[in-house]
Chain A
């Protein structure tokens, strides 16, 4: 029995809704394998999502699963994590979910460095609603709402997360699924806000509108365009992880940020404990004075 079979809600929720060849299944199974390899008690794993194709992922797997509103998954996750800090809280979002409608919650979760793992399935388009452009659709590419080519700049989700204060930031692809699994595993182990962006394929819409071929061609494209950050680091030793012009339309993958910093929920409870002990001390003093 594969690891995946241990976790899927095979009797309740299948067949799934995703198109054949979609990258979401690869992303989800990388996540499930990472969770399994860490030996987490599944009663303590909370999977939360917003709305979109990517956001349908939690319903298929047997954890505590919460399918919220478009863009707001991180807000719900924040409430859960603050109340039950011992739970492993994982949020799955599409690119639109994470950095368009949910952009505010995304940057503030990064800033707080709250111990939540955010997985962004970036297919660079709005899949669920039929292929409108997203803040990660590259310039010049096509979507149903940019029929003459996208004139907008795209967000680099990893740079955004790093700039906003996330303490673990990595990018993988659905082609290099094992590598992605490794990034997710590290993210889950990380104490603080961790972001793993998975560049994924949407053959049904993105692939068709941009004449990229089928799922296999798109996976090959991912293989040929993913440049490990190590290569850049070797070339310009000490260089940042910014997308460089001479990457020539390619993108960087790897772990861009992995640093320690105080985490929001632990800080909250530390503060609360301090306040409680101060209040007790003050009450004692007042009693003595009287």
Chain B
């Protein structure tokens, strides 16, 4: 019997998948109904698979004229009630920043995937890098809330894509899923969960009469309900500083309370939002801190170092922003040093240093030539410096 070829494996299957493909699976499970994008390596497979899958599932795929337009279309789609997403890499991520800030400030849920390539500018389009650690936090101007998630395996990419949608709906905020080229392009086996195994969150929609609806109300949970455009709730959305009805304001009290609420809606929910993994940290003297593909090398390095008698451990922030402050501080008192391993000239290390604030030594170990850092390099660094 000839085996049937399917574009998308059914739920419960174990499949050999690429990270970018897993991202699409995750999005579909989370209920994505809209994708707008512009091709760019190493993210393009996401758009291509979405182009194939969305039309036949009643969703919308559109290739826009550039990344700015893609981001705009995603925000519009979400405001009309869709679960919307886009995917890109460094240069395109830069172009999305202004509209990304708009989504953050106007509290419109959406998911932005950035598959990081090597180097600044056009850089190394087909190589790996982690240069967007800071751009993902501060790429758009002004103070703004954001959530950034970083998977380190294909299967985790699938699950974190679902989490990204869930967080975006729950907290009315854009969520950035930061892959790197290695995670996006490598293939490994992944279990496709069944719908029953996953949790899918939908945004809160208003249930008050239309005239009483305040899209930016100071609710107890700090996340006001969001009405779909065209659903009978007529309101205003603007990137200008706005009052609880969404109308522009320059009042000092309203400005301050809006910006404070936006900060607090993420900060007060850190226990829910801050995901991380720790590996053999309990007795560790040398704790590696890494995300994405670099964390894979680190995990292997921890095992190798341990076999040499070096007490190594790993902290892997899965939620990169907000950064896992409590976890770092917890181990800062027991570890001799943190070694922050990343594929750039040292970005995440700045945040780790800031959090640890001298409570333990913080070192930076980086590789930024377009290749993935190897466990051997990390081990020999640990051995040398011990």
Contacts and interface: CB of A to CB of B under 8 A. Distances in A.
A104 B230 contact: no
**Interface footprint category on A:** 35 or more
Q: Could you tell me the dominant secondary structure of chain B's interface residues? A: mixed
A289 to B, nearest CB: 8
B229 interface: yes
Interface in A1-55: 12-13, 42-44, 46, 48
Contacts of A208: none
A173 to B, nearest CB: 29
A75 B230 contact: no
A79 B99 contact: no
Contacts of B79: 66, 76, 79-80
A59 B62 contact: no
B287 interface: no
Which residue, of A12, A48, A72, has the highest number of chain B Cβ atoms within 10 A?
Answer: A72
Contacts of A48: 76
Interface stretch (A176-184, A228-236, A245-253, A272-280): A272-280
B76 A79 contact: yes
Interface in B281-317: none
Given A79-B75, A79-B77, A87 B239 contact: no
B234 interface: yes
Interface string A52-67: 0000001100111111
Nearest to B210: A43
B81 A68 contact: no
A75 to B, nearest CB: 3
B13 interface: no
A279 B54 CA distance: 13
Contacts of A276: 55-56, 58
Contacts of B84: 79
Contacts of A84: 80-81, 229-230
A75 B64 contact: yes
25 contacts: A43-B230, A58-B236, A64-B234, A66-B79, A66-B236, A66-B237, A73-B72, A74-B72, A75-B70, A75-B73, A76-B72, A76-B73, A78-B62, A79-B36, A79-B74, A79-B80, A79-B82, A80-B79, A82-B34, A83-B33, A83-B82, A104-B69, A105-B68, A271-B55, A279-B56
Interface of B: 1, 4, 33-34, 36, 55-56, 58, 60, 62, 64-66, 68-82, 84, 98-99, 102, 229-232, 234-240, 245, 247-248
Interface of A: 12-13, 42-44, 46, 48, 58-59, 62-69, 72-84, 86-87, 104-105, 108, 268, 271-272, 275-276, 279, 286, 290
